[in-house]
Every structure is written in C-alpha cells, then in structure tokens.
Structure 1
Amino acid sequence: METNQCYPVVERSHPDLVINIGEVSLGEGNRKKLNITQKQEKTRFTQAVCALLNSGGGVILIEMANNHERPMELGHDLEQSLRYLIESTDFHTFFEHNQQERHFSIFVKSWSSEDSSMRPGICSLSSSLYRRSGTSSLTMRSSEAFDFLKTKKKDAKNSLTNEGSPPSKIPKADCRSTSESLAAYKIFQKNRLNYGEILPFPESQSTEFKQFATKNIQKYVQEIIPEYVSAFSNSKGGYLFIGVDNESREVRGCTKENVDRNSLKNVIATAISNVPVVHFCSSKPSLQCTTKIIDVFKDDGELYGYLCVVRVEPFCCAVFSGNPKSWMVKNMRIHRLKAEEWVHMMIDPDPELLSDLAEAFESQLSLSHRPPLCRPVYSKKGLEHKVDLQRHLFPVTSDPLRYTPESLWTELSSEHEGLEELINKHMRPFSQGILIFSRSWAVDLNLHKKEGVICDALLIAQNSPPILYTILGEQEAGGQGYCTRTAFALKQKLVNTGGYTGKVCVMAKVLCLSPQCTTECLEGAVSLIDYPGSYSLGDTQQVEALLQALVIVLLGFRSFLSDQLGCEVLNLLTAQQYELFSTNLRKNRELFVHGLPGSGKTIMAMKIMEKIRNVFHCETRRILYICENQPLRNFVRKKKICEAVTRKTFMRDNFKDIDHIIIDEAQNFRMEDGDWYWKAKTITQRAKGCPGILWIFLDYFQTSHMCPSGLPSYSCQYPREQLTRVVRNADDIAKYLREIMQAIRENPPPNLPSEYLAMSHEAEWVPGVAGNITIKDLDLEEMIIYVADECHFLLRNGYSSKDIVVLFSTASEMNKYKDKFLKEMRKRKFSQIDDESTFTDANLDSVRRFSGLERNIVFGINPSTAEAAIFDNLLLCLASRANKHLYILRLSN
C-alpha cells in the first residue's frame, strides 16, 4: 500500500529539515543477529534520505536500537541503499554522519546533478518504469528512465513539428514481426485450449508466461498486471499468458472452482485502468490492452478452468506500474510523488525559450547543475549578472570584516545605544567576511516581521557556517523561535531558490540589547545539532557562490515570462530596483516614485505590496492597488496580493477596511469624479499615530490627456525616488523611445512639469537585445490584411496569441474596427489550432487602457489624438509597451 505521509519533520527547534526516524539497529551484522526485519528499517531509512535529497538537504536523527556506545557504522546494506539512490559510489559527497552516545546523525546534502542533460534531476528508489529485456521485465534505473523519458518527449515534439499535427493513433504492434509474435497471436485468437497442451513458442521479448498463484488469485493478478503492462507498453508490445508453466510451456490454467471468469476479467481491467500514464503528446490516447479468457478443457472434454491472455500494444508515451518510489518533504511531511510530477522534476529543469526570447534573456542560474526544486532564473541581456550584483551588493574582499549596507548600519547603531558594542563583541572571532544587516531578514524572505526585533544580521565568513543573528531590545519569549524559523527559511531558499549546491546550514543565534538579559540569553543557541566541519565555508570561491545564491533569493521575482512558458521562471531586480525595495517603509509611509517607461514601476508596486503585508502583518484585504484602467487592474488582481480597483471605483465606493494604498500610472488619473489624492491620503492617515502606506508610481512622459490629474504639484511630491534604468525594450525600440522623449523635451505639453524633463537625461537604456520597429503608411484594408499576415507569420514561428496586442488610439476606434481585424486574423489557417493561436477581444485594446502592461509584439493602429500637444506622449506610451517587435501603422488617407 502506498503512503503519502509517514514521519513528521521536526522544524520548530532546528533551522533545518530534520527527520527523526526513531530506533534503527546500526551495523548489518547487528540487525541479522537481533533477527530484526532489515526491510522495514531500510524502508524507513531510505524514504527519509530520498525525501531530504529531493528537498534541499537536512539531517536524519536515529536512536540506536542496539546498546553500543562505541562508534558504529551504518552497515553495508544501508550504505548500498544510499549509493543506489544517488547512482554513485561517491558516498561522502552527499552524506556524512556522527555519533553521540546512542544518537546517530546523518547529514544529507541536497541532490544536484552534475549535468541535467545527462543525469536525472531527482533521486528515486525505483522509477516504477519497466522495459522488456530478453525474457525479463526489468525496472529502469533513474538514469535509464531519464534517457527513456527524454527520448519520448523528443519524439513527441518531432512528431508534432514534422507532421504538422499530433499523431492521431498509436502504432499497432506488428503481430507478424517474429515467429513468436505470430504464434502468440494465433493462440490469442483461440477460444479453447487443452490442459497440458504445449504452446508452440517459448518466452521471448514479446511473450511472458506466468502460472496462477495457489492462493488469492485475484490479488496475485492485480500485482503482476501493472509490471507487465508497463514493460510491454514501453517496449514493442507483447503478450502476457497467465496459466502457462514458463519452463515446460504447458497450459495449466486455473480451475474453474478457484476463479470466476467475469470477476477475473474485471480485476484485470481495473488493474490496467489504474496504471499511471504520463503523456508528452497532445492527443493523449489511452492504453490499448485487450484481455482474453480462454477455456481450458481436459482430455475428456470437460471444462477444467481458464487461461488468461493480456495483449499489450506499444505506447506513444510513458507507462508506469505505479507511482515512482520517490519522496519529497511537503508541508513538513514526507510525500510520495505522483508519476506526472516526478516526470516533470526528472526532465524539465529548463523551459524551452523561443529563439527571440533566448536572444533577449540570459540565464542567471544554470540548471545543468542544480538542486531538484530550483526554478529557472533569467534576466534581460545587458542587465547585471548575478555575479555583478553580488560584487556590487555583497563584495568579498581581503579587508577586515565588513558591515553592510553601511547606511543601514550607521542608522541602526545611532538609533540603539549599545548595539555597536554588542555586535563588535560577537564579531571578534571573525577576521574576514561580511555581516549583512536588515531591519528584518524575515521580511526579506517573504515572512512576517516580529515586533520587538531591532534588526537581523547574517554573517557570511570563511571557516564558519552562515550565522543569522536576531537582535532583540528586551528578552522575550518567541525570539529564538523567530530566529530559527527565519534561518530555516533562508537555508531552504539558498538551496531551492538560489541554487547553491554545496553543503550548507544556517545557524540561528539571538542577542539582546537589554542589560537585564542573562549571559545565557546573550550567547543564544547556535544550533542543537553539531554539524561537520565541511558545513563551514571554505575558500573565497565558496563564499562568493553562496552570496550569488543569496542575490537570487533577495532579488528574484516571478517573471511575466512564467505565463508564456507555462512554468515558473524568475527574473532579478536591478540594483536600482532593489535599492527602492529596501526602503524603510516605517520611515517612508508616503513616497512618489517617478519611473521612466519600461523601468519596472508595476513590478515594484507589486513587490512593495508583498513587503507591506509582511512588515505590518497585514491581510491582503487591507492593501489597495489603484490604477486608471481595467486591464492593468485585472492583471494585478490575479496576483491575489491585494484588493485592486480602478480610480472610478475607488471614488465611488467606501474602503473602510483599507490601511495601505499603492497607486500606479497616476499621471493618467483625472479629477472628474473628485479629489482621489485627498481621499487616498485621508484613508491611509485615519489611524492616529500609525499612518498607513501611500506610494504613488507615475511617469509624466506617458501622460495621455490634458485634464487636471489631481496630483500635487511636482515640488510637493516629496519624498520621491526615481527609476531611470529602462529594462523592457529591445535596442531599436529603445532608440525610437529616446527620439520621442527628445521631441517631448523640445515641445513639452503644458501639464508636464518642467523640472521633470531633466529626468530624461538620467535615463540609462540597457542594450544588447535584438528587436525591430516597422513604420508603414497603409489604407485601412491594407492595414487589416498586413496585421493578419504578420500575426500568421509570428504564430507559425512559435509565438502565442498571448504575445500579441493590437492597440488603437482610443476605445471608440477599437470598437469601430475590431471586428474587421479579428475576422481577417481568424481567416488564417494554422498547423496547430488551439487556444494559443486564437485571437479574441483581449488581443485588441486602446493605448490608454493598455498603459502599464506589455507584450512582446505590439501593433499600433494609426496613433493620433485630438489633443496635438500630447501626441508624442501617446506615441511614447504606445511604443514602450513593446518588448521585441513594434509595428506603427498609419492611415495613408
């Protein structure tokens, strides 16, 4: 029986995944002497080890059942199980152990494949995938299963690419390809056989003989069917004969008194239906198995019983006998993986980027050498690599121990008397390294901040494991638990998000500023587990590798690419964006963020809302996001991190539960429904002595109307920050944007503050991404056909309809022409008709309504405005929506 949960994972008192599997007799000889069932002990042990290998590593605690205080070894059988798990004799790369009296600790490093193109991305005790080899059915080892699955996936992709459509059916087994298959096929066609009759063919690649069990026949059949269905399906098909002696080939059958024909057929059908199947093809056919019950007669013509034959066709994809024997830690319990999630983790570490996307993005985390839970990390080409970000944010030098960020350390030490002396005292043993301060490392890791914590500091130094210090003002209950939970989250993220592949633990230590604290409290508890020396950081290379993993942990965010690729992909914040994200919210409750087009204002708005939730222990229903347009509102609403409304809704409704407000694209707000700024400020300041957060993101260069916006005058927008690094657009589009911004500077509209124009001189355009811009003058019919033809070309070259948007100057123009554009686009025939190549109303919008969003491909239809003064602003807003390809189509008449 399969169990998804077994041993609890201890986490409250340890900053690591710790599995206590209870008593185990160490030493294979001892287990034999004591007559203890080795199988049960090995099962508990290997499941726990497998779960830790696949979940970022950790520690297994064992209490020795045998009363030996002298040093003991695991035993040859257990060590062999571990070597089987990693398919390597390199035992000490992943495992170390120590013994304290009767307590035995095994330290498990996270699994990381040397090369994911050659080795599986996850550890397993059994793949549950079978294949035929001669006359045997063999379980594929993980590496063999990996190659098999990669081949199946590649074949499915090639079939789709070469044929233009998915295969409609699975190839049938060639029943006449061998003499054995032909003879088996003839027997399969019969309705009766004689008891003792010798079948005219032996066991072979395509035939297997089994006798019926003497007891519990139905259970026996249930157990063997999945194995042989898997083996024949994954090979070239074949026949399973149940009721034939495998040596003599004599028909034995099963007596009619011991089995019922119909119930036997039902048992077999149920067993086949429960076999897990994982598809790579889009047609997803079912297994093709045919069961036949053949009557077996004695020489006197009397019915003796039945022989069962299961004919199995070869299958297009992967057929398992059951879920693989592979485990992970989920929700602090050991969980057995389902076949589909196991396959995904085995062979899908990297998404396949379109060639255009591959040219635009650079991998920041190589998944060819990765822990199992890592996700791909990409950044736009031209932006800082994780190495550059690490050297900028967390430089490793030969200088004495460095405190960073220096501005935060200066602020903290001036605010809290005695902090500098306390920190310096505890740093004396460390001559070199880096101590990274944060007002809350919990918040940095997307956890809730604890009240009473002055700050946290992470020590990364050679010859020491990483240590997380939590500094309290007063000794209080829960401080050590908070520090331990934060250290636990950090360790998990360094491995499973940051991709660190070395041995790592994070010690948790609490310090207290109050002079009333005891010495014991000041010293804290580094760890209840004594880790081996290999868990201390060695040379500079190890330190930098860990800090680069830390960069991904701190600066990573879910990329908009994730929805396009169908899997989670991370991008990295720029150093400028991270500096804004690190702003002290309690000291900057109101802030105006001016950001140039494509500088990441909406991304930062969402990141700040996540931070608000954790800093203030705030429910999502108490955070409000406001924008002008419904498409942007809908986009943010799907993230489920806040309440999201348009300005009109905000002015109409009462928001009595809201404490914090984030406003985006504020340059396009209007006063037609009332003073939105006054209302937002009133809501966020109604809690006496504890005002909420009000951050306003805007860009005057993208102003799309001449009406009063309701914003305070530029000089009153204080405090304010700027985002000047433009990260969205391809080189040719960026060059075009610079030309438009120059035109705006030379002839600004009257509602654009003159002081704001200087910001364009600080713009930094990230180069290195190929793209194109096309400007054409066409009449309306030509324009409609041109858009349809280009979309057809783009979809045939791998893009999805989700990559494309057609933007009109106004909503009224969109409503006037959209049916003509959609009708023409839908005329085109595609090789693969599905949701990805279907155009809907969502692919058409107006420039104003689409503000704040982006697409890889943007068609701008006859950009124009009744207010000539803001024509360039409208054009800038339109062009900046495009990541890769921009088409500006002007009416020629």
Structure 2
Amino acid sequence: MNHYLLEVEPFYPDLVINVGKVTIGELNRKQLQKNQRTQEKDKVKQAACALLNSGGGVILVKMANEKNQSEMGLDLEQALRDLIQSPELHAFFETVQQKSCFYIFVKSWTSDTSSTLKPPICSLSSSLYCRSGTSTLCMDSRQAFNFLKTKKMNVERSPINEGFPPTNIPRNEHLISVFQRNRFEFGEVLPFPESELAEFKQFSTKRIQEYLKEIIPGYVSAFANSRGGYLFVGVEDKSRKVQGCAKENVDLNSLEYKIENVISKLHTFHFCSLRLLGHPPINHQFFEKKIAEVHKDGNLYGYLCMIKVKPFCCVVFSEAPSSWVVKEKQVCCLTTEEWVDKMVDTGPDLAEDFNNQLDLSQKPPSCRPVYSRKGLDHKKALQKALFPVSSGPLQYTPKSLWKELCSEHKGLKELINMEMQPICQGILILSRSWAVDLSLPEEQGVICDALLIAQNSYPILYTILGEKGKEMQFDRTHTAFTLKQKLVNKGGYPRKLCIMTKTFYLGSEGNAELLAGSNSSIDYPESYKLADDQQMEDLLQSLVIVLLGFRSFLSDELGCEVLNLLTHQQYEILSKNLYKTRELFVHGLPGSGKTIMAIKIMKKIRNVFHCETKNILYICENQPLRDFISHKNICEAVTRKTFMKYDFKDIQHIIIDEAQNFRTEDGEWYDKAKNITWRKRDDPGILWIFLDYFQTTHMYYSGLPAPSDQNSREKLYTVVRNADPIANYLQEKIEEVKKNPPPSIPSGSLAMLGEAIWAQGVSGKIKFRNFMSLEQVVTCVAEKCRVFFKNGYSPKHIAVLLSKSEVVDEYKEKLRRAMRRRSSSQMDEESNVLVQIKDALHVTDNCIVLDSIRRFSGLERTIVFGINPQPNERAVTNNLLLCLASRAKKHLYILTNRQRPQSKKP
C-alpha cells in the first residue's frame, strides 16, 4: 500500500484527519479507474488506522461529487471491515454528510469486543509471512498477534533468555542434493515438487533486480518464521523444469549483490538477548545463497538462483509493518520495534501489592496500566466521592467553588442555570481552569470552565471568559481536544466519545454573550451521546484516572510507563486555588506521599503562573533527595545549606520538603524563603512547606514557625507506602513518639494529624536480629541479598542504612567483601557479576545503596536493612527508627551488633 501525507486539521476538539478529495457513493465509485479507486481507498484506510490507534477521531473527506450520499461505497466499506476484522462496521465507524464534506467518525480501537479477541493495535499489514502447505501467506494482525505471543513465551521460558537456536531444515535428501549442485541442464525436471519446504519461481519479464527485490522478502520471511526452506528462482512451478535466467539479461556479480542486499535489509525483531544489540539483521547464520549455471546444448545459457533459509530464532519481517498513529498531530507509521512492543505489551504484573484500575483486555492502544495500592480507594469509590451520579436533578460540584464563583462574578449564576435548564440528570464539574487540571498552561482571561456530563447529551466543555482574546478559540479547542484524548488514552474510556465546546463572554455588569464559532462545527451522531447512568459513571471513572493519575516511581524501576492514583486527600490539596493559597504547611505522616505532592504542585505552578524551571526552587536537607528531584527537570533543586549561600534572583516560587529536619545554623531559612516569594508584594509567589514532626531526627531548632503561626495548614494522614507488618511497626513508633516527644518538637504539634489511616493488604516482612560482631551483621546482609537476587530482585531494590554517616565507608568495605565471598557451588549457579554498592546519591542506579538514615530521608526502596539505628541523642531514637522503617516498602531488617565500629575522626 502506498503511504500518503495526511494532514491533521487544527482548531477542532478532536483528531480530524483530512484525506482530501474522495469519490463517495457506490455508483460513482464504479465509474472510477481502478488505480484511482485504489488510491482513494488506501488514503481512507491509512487515516482510519491512525485514528483507531490514537484514541479515535474523524476522517474529513472532501467529496469529489457533491450530490447527496448516505453511503461511502461497497469497496470503502469492505476496506474498513477488513481493517477491523469484523463485519460490524458501526462498532467503530459511522458516517454523516454535511454540505460538501463527508465525515467518517472513528471510535478508538479496543483489544476485545464481544467474544472475538483482537490484537492490541490495528494494522494495515503485519509484513510477517509464514508457510501454509505450498502457499506463502502474510499473517493478518490477529495471526501475527498469536505468533508473536508464542515467540515471546518461548524466550521467557528459556532459562538463558534465548530464542530457539538456528536449527536445520527438516531433512530432505533431494532438496539437499539439488542445492549442493553447481550446474543444471535447461529443461531438467527437479526430483521433488513444491512443498512447505520448497518454492519455485520463474524469472519475470520485468527487470531482474526489481523482480528479486519484490519476491525475496516475503519468501525469506515465510521460511524463517516457519520451519525453514528453499527458494528456487528460475524453475517453472507446475512442470518443475529448470528455466534459469538468460545470461544476456543479468550480470552475475550484480545478481549476487542484489540478493545479499535485499536479505540484509529485512526487518528483524529479537525477544532474546540479541535485542540488547539493537535487533541485528538476518545474517549468513540463517541463510545461504547459491547461483548455479544452466546449460543448454552444451553451452552456458544462464543462471539458477537458490536461497536456503533456516528457521530464525525470533521474528523476520518482509518490511516494516504498516500501522499508523498520530504523534504531535502528525500521521506517522510505527517502527518495527514500536509495533512489536505494542502487540506483545501486557504491562507489569503488580497484582501482589496493587489493584489494577483498568480492564486491560479492553484498553485503547495507547492506554497504560493504572494501579492503586491495595487498601486504598478504587476508581469507582473515588468517582462516587468526587463526581457522584444520582437519579435526581443536575448537580454542581465542587459546591464550595460554585459558591465562590457566583459571589465573585455577577451574572455567572444566571448564565450557567439558563444553559443547564434542558438538562434533567447529570453533573456539572466546575474548575477555575480545566487547562491546568489537564497539565496545560493556564489560559488568560478565563473566569472558569465547566464540564457537563449528562444523560442523553454529548459531554460539553463550557468556558466563561472575562475578556475577549483573539487566540481564545484555539485554546478552547486545544483544552477540549486534550481532555478527549486523555479520557481515552489515559483514562481507558472504551466507548464512542466527543467533547463539544461552548464559550461565553461575561461582562463586568453580568451581561453574557455566546461567542461566534464557539460551538463545535461537526455534528456527531446520536450514538456519541451518553445514554444512561452506566455510561456516565464509566466516563467519570476515566476522568478520575485523568485527574488523579500520576507517573509512578515504579515506571523507572520497571522500565515501562505505570500510573498510580492520588488519594482523595492528595487530590483535594492539589486542587487548591494557588492564587488564594500562596503559603501552605502540609503535615504528612511517614509514607503519605509528601514528595509526590511536592512534584505535582511544582508542575501545577509552572502551568498556572506560566513560569520556567529556573523560577521554581525545591529545597531539602539532603543531597540525594536534591539530586532525585533535580533529575525530574521541573525546578531548580538545592539543599538548605546551598540555599542560605546565594540570592536566587530568578526564583519566584519555593517548595520545601522534609522541613522538620532543617536547622538554623546557617541562618533563618524560613524568613529568607518568605522574603523571596514576597518580593512582589502585589503578586507574591508560592511557598509550600512539607513536613512531618514524627520524623524529626535532631535536637536543634528547626526554624519552622510555631504551629500556632502556621496559619494555612493541611494534613496527609493516609499512609500509602509500606507493607502491613512495617505499617504496624510505624504505628507503634508513632505512639511512642507521641508519649515521649523530643524537646525539639513544638508542643502540641504531634496532635495535628489526628488518627492515621493505614492502607492494608500488602504483604511484607519485618525482622529484628542481634549479632555478636559486625562481620556477622554484614554476612547476614550479604546472604539475604543473594536470596533476594535469586527471587527476582536486583540491587536497585535494596538499601542498607546506618545511624551515622561517619561509619559508612567502613561498612561499605566490609559488605563488599562479604558479597564477594561465594562457595564454588554458588559460583556455578549465579552470575559472577560484581554487585555495586554506592551512597544515596546513586539511588536511581542499579546498585545497593549504603548510607545514613538521615541522608536517605525522603527516598524509598523495596528492601531496607537498618544497622545499629541508635542516634547520638537518645531522645530522638524512636524518631530515627520511624524514619528508617518508613523508607522500606516491603521488607525491613533491623540488625544490631554489640561490637560497634569506631568512628573515624576527620
């Protein structure tokens, strides 16, 4: 199929692909030349494929014939049926003519419909061939999906992660002897017919090199993906007679080069360890070519080409698969690697610790796994709490924002109520900026946005402007476009969906005006309306994922995109109006997600205030946490000590994390932060401070204002990080800190958080052990690490934490030696790769982190060993143990020894 340069139309709240002029209607299409009919059909198929794989949208057809037409034409309809591999065309496509335009409405592809299992993405051609008897067939996408799954499974079951090694073709003496010959007679009959292992082709009257380029890829792919076989070019298939190619028509050297060149350019994909080499092409290990002479009447007549192909270890394509997507509003073809990854991607298995929030068997192609930690609210519960659907009248939410907006803007209440009069049942979700809610820059001049989700209505995004802007209509469609895309591609909404738009101007005297062109210009079919409560709830649950989903730290650990959900508490805090909440103290229990919140609020600040990375400052006490945040590229990140040294003239907004462990030895950091954010008295910046008094691990004055002076406060008391046994231990330590707080903690501050909520349901382990010597301690750690490695964990899952940074080097050397000690039997069973041990500055590397508890503050790992967790000040012992335990997600070992190492004096 030819590839066409298709345009994505701007200024629509949906993906709209313009395919140009196409003849519509059965009678009209029958009158076209075959070539033109094929070209038009291919353009429509390519656009349809791109939209199916990109969340759905609309194909805009400029009708070559302007008479009224209700149907496309049988050949176009059949092409679309072939594309979705289903006779049920209306499940994915609907058509409407509007004046001289013909619209084809495309629903997003979903993997599973009714009882027919569909592959994860739509494809025009897999470019994967196989042998079936004497035929060479191109697999359809469903066959390719099953073939790839089997290949991947075979590799995963291999103990050394290898595909099946090159094997010989099933033995056939006639085939072997013929392939070994160097000379044939013209008209000689070969002693075997075509079969699964043998294919005969005659030389075409076309140019020889063009012909070989045309036929070789498919046959080599088919033999390589099957049991292997032989391709003979120059043999008449029915009579089996050797014909060859006349020597006058071909140059021998160029013939050999052409065969080599065509095969070397075939696309391959490796599931096995060869993937690490970048999918090397098929080579002479898998194929062998031979050109034999053909004689006639005792003279050289021409040549016979023979190619022997062995079964390939993984997958061979004739060319790149033909599967299309829309990227950055450009219609693009997926690469071979992208296509295979999407075809076989099943997502990570996190069932042990997390609840899956999406039915991945029906997910759209771009949808990624979404999880919530066990024990936390499911998306259904979050939807019912945030966006409830009732059988009563239309609801406005959040009610507090609705009251604020009505009190601030004259005429707003009357305008909204008038627009909502025809709506009997549904929910109107208000926001000061839906753009910001969708992680887009805030739009200037917007009073508020309102998203209507109502029964028997299209979803509608209303925008109320306080001033008219030239670019506002583009911004409006861009926000609606982003919302629709995210509801499908992130929220996993599997049904037909559009977002209509309406924009009003509200004057200072309360006079309202519907802006021209603010309505969506495409009339969608009735099937795009929300039919009942179930469809409304499904869409709102997708909206919960869009608004509460964030990229989990697990994404970096697993090497694939994973989304987690915010808790209700976290979402409520992040939804605050930043213009009215310039300063906020967020008190959070250990493991309640304070650092996640800090990252999210900095992203929101960028969009609300249209500022750059250099205008936002993140401050923490420790270098490892500073570096961890710095790698996110959303802000400038410094430690408290660095903050006190410089002026930071470009900084407008400041986020402070782990503030309970700050000190004033270098100056009053809080006063300096407040002075920076209040440089512009009429437009101050943001100053949000995250802290947890329970994790205070020193006896010095922190520099925080007294709790009574923290005028704006919020609490995070839902603990989401730790496995159940560790969470139980944290609860015990919290109670001990409450009973015996260190003097450095302000009186009454520990009562701020009230009763904690602990997410339950994640299994884990906590162990306490005492040893007689340091050697026994490090030997225990080394042995436990080996056990974890055998069970699928890696060094990046493990941290070894000490109470004092002065002894880190001594422990590191002893642990390194203990890790090297292996018996000969272990050397046979395990890979002899030296496990790296580094400090917390390398927390993102695949290494064991060994550092102090304080320097690891704000970070986490799945497995934590705490060694001799005894601070210099006994008053903060429980706080230090609390800080230590909260760093461990699943396994915690607290190890002590009676023989303590001596601190090295500087």
Of the candidates 319, 323, 326, which is equivalent to residue 326 of structure 1?
323
The aligned residue for residue 810 of structure 1 is 804
SS at structure 2 position matched to 1:257: helix
Deviations 1:248-285 (CA, angstroms, capped at 9, x unpaired): 22222222332222222222222222211111112447
Match of 2:262 in 1: 271
Match of 1:824 among 818, 823, 828: 818
Q: CA, structure 1 residues 826+242, in 2 after alignment: closer, same or farther (shift >3 Å)?
A: farther
Matches within 5 A, 1:571-610: 571-610=564-603
Letter of the aligned partner of 2:272 in structure 1? C
Q: 1:372 is matched with which residue?
A: 365
The reply on whether 1:869 has 2:871 as its aligned counterpart is no
CA distance in 2, matches of 1:168, 1:823: 36
Distance 1:394 1:58, change over 3 A: same
**CA shift at 1:800, angstroms?**
2.2
Q: How far apart in 2 are the matches of 1:299 and 1:850?
A: 83
* Contact 1:509–1:523, Cα closer than 8 Å, also in 2: no
- Counterparts of residues 755-834 of structure 1 (less than 5 Å): 755-759=748-752, 761-778=754-771, 779-827=773-821, 833=831
> Match of 1:298, SS?
strand
Distance 1:155 1:175 in 2: 20
- Deviations, residues 378-403 of structure 1 (Å, cap 9, x unaligned): 01001000000000000001221111
Instruction: Give the C-alpha shift of residue 151 in structure 1.
Output: 0.6
Report the CA distance between 1:840 and its aligned residue: 4.7
Q: Which one of 874, 892, 898 corresponds to residue 892 of structure 1?
A: 898
The partner residue of 1:392 within 382, 385, 397 is: 385
Q: Within 1, Cα distance between the matches of 2:432 and 2:874?
A: 49
Q: Which residue number corresponds to residue 20 of structure 2?
A: 22
Q: 1:227 is matched with which residue: 218, 223, 235? A: 218
With 519-528 and 869-878 compared, the bigger mean Cα shift is at 519-528
- 2:337 alignment partner, SS class: helix
How far did residue 815 of structure 1 move? 1.4
Identity of aligned residues (%): 60
Match of 1:615 in 2: 608
1:212 aligns with 2:207: no
The verdict on how the C-alpha distance between 1:66 and 1:747 changes in structure 2, with shifts beyond 3 A counting, is same
Shift of 1:835: 8.5
Q: Which moved more, 1:780-789 or 1:250-259?
A: 250-259
Change (3 A) 1:239 1:751: same
In the alignment, does 2:319 pair up with 1:315?
no
Residue 698 of structure 1: which of 678, 691, 701 is its match? 691
1:110 to 105, 108, 115: 108
Q: Using the TM superposition, name which of 104-113 and 837-846 deviates more.
A: 837-846
Tell me the residue number matched to 2:903: none
Could you tell me which of 156, 177, 187 is aligned with 1:196?
187
SS of the aligned residue for 1:526 comes to coil
Q: State the distance in 1 between where 2:701 and 2:743 align.
A: 11
In the other structure, the counterpart of 2:343 is 346
Change (3 A) 1:224 1:520: farther
Aligned to 1:154: 153
1:365-417 deviations in Å (ceiling 9; x for gaps): 11111111100000100100000000000000122111100011111111111
Q: Which residue of 2 aligns with 1:429?
A: 422
For residue 686 of structure 1, the aligned residue among 674, 679, 683 is 679
* Structure 1 position 215, deviation (Å): 2.7
SS at match of 1:368: helix
Moved more, 50-59 or 712-721: 712-721
1:800, 1:836 within 8 Å by CA — same for their partners in 2?
A: no
How far, CA to CA, are the matches of 2:85 and 2:147 in structure 1?
17
In the alignment, the residues of structure 1 paired with residue 163 and residue 92 of structure 2 have an alpha-carbon distance, to the nearest angstrom, of 46
- Please give the per-residue CA displacement for 1:753-786, whole angstroms capped at 9, x wherever unaligned: 1211213542111112111101100232221121
Over 3 Å counting, the alpha-carbon distance change for 1:747 and 1:266 in structure 2 is: same
| Residue type at the aligned position of 1:857 | I
Q: Deviation of residue 577 (structure 1)?
A: 0.3
Q: 2: CA distance between counterparts of 1:627 and 1:611?
A: 19
Offset at residue 833 of structure 1 (A): 4.3
Deviation at 1:797, TM superposition (A): 1.1
Cα distance in 2, alignment partners of residues 827 and 342 from structure 1 = 45
1:236 correspondence with 2:242 = no
Deviations 1:449-505 (A, max 9, x none): 111101101011001011001101133322222221111110111111100011110
2:437 to 415, 436, 444: 444
Contact 1:57 1:108 in 2 (8 A): yes
- C-alpha distance in structure 1 between counterparts of 2:626 and 2:664, whole Å: 19
Cα distance in 2, alignment partners of residues 173 and 119 from structure 1: 34
2:621 corresponds to 1:628: yes
Cα drift, residue 316 of structure 1 = 2.0
Deviation digits for residues 541-584 of structure 1, max 9, x if unmatched?
Answer: 00000000000000000011112221100000000000000011
Verify the 8 A CA contact 2:820 2:834 in the aligned structure 1. Answer: no
C-alpha separation between the residues in 2 aligned to 1:159 and 1:839? 30
Aligned to 2:165: 170
CA contact (8 A) 1:795 1:837 kept: no
Over residues 149-186 of structure 1, what are the superposed CA-to-partner deviations in whole Å (9 max), with x where a residue is unaligned?
111111100013xxxx233871312451xx3xx32222
Q: Structure 1 pair 274/837, CA: closer, same or farther in 2 (3 Å)?
A: farther
Contact 2:715–2:753 under 8 Å retained in 1 = no
Contact 2:716 2:753 in 1 (8 A): no
Per-residue deviation at 1:516? 8.4
Cα distance in 1 for partners of 2:830, 2:111 equals 35
Deviation of residue 641 (structure 1)? 1.3
Q: Deviations over 1:660-683 (max 9, x none)?
A: 111111111222332222222222
Mapped contact 2:169–2:311 kept (Cα < 8 A): no
The corresponding residue for 1:247 is 238
Gaps of 5+ in 1: none
Question: What is the TM-score of this pair, normalised by structure 2?
Answer: 0.94
Question: Which of 801-810 and 457-466 deviates more?
Answer: 801-810
Higher mean alpha-carbon deviation, 291-300 vs 80-89, is at 291-300
Distance in 2 (alpha carbons) for counterparts of 1:281 and 1:662: 45
Preserved CA contact (<8 Å) 1:480 1:509? no
Query: TM-score scaled by structure 1?
Result: 0.95
**Alignment check: 8 A CA contact 2:618 2:635 kept:** yes
Matched to 1:219, the amino acid is: E
Residue type of the partner of 2:393?
A: P
Q: In the aligned structure 2, how far is the partner of 1:225 from the partner of 1:333?
A: 32
Q: Distance in 2 between matches of 1:55 and 1:16?
A: 11
Query: Residues 195 and 299 of structure 1 are in contact (CA less than 8 Å); yes or no, is this contact kept in structure 2?
Result: yes
2:845 equivalent in structure 1: none
How big is each residue's C-alpha offset from its partner over 1:121-141, in whole Å with a ceiling of 9 and x where there is no partner?
111111111100011110111
Residues 202-224 of structure 1 show CA distances to partners (whole Å, capped at 9, x for unaligned) of 11111111122223211221222
**Aligned counterparts of 1:503 and 1:596: Cα–Cα separation in 2:** 42
Question: Hey, what does 2:904 align to over in structure 1?
Answer: none
SS of match in other structure, 1:656: coil
Deviations 1:742-761 (CA, angstroms, capped at 9, x unpaired): 11111111011121121354
Q: Give runs of aligned pairs for residues 599-748 of structure 1, distance below 5 A.
A: 599-748=592-741
Residue 625 of structure 2 aligns to a residue whose secondary structure is helix
Contact 1:211 1:244 in 2 (8 A): yes
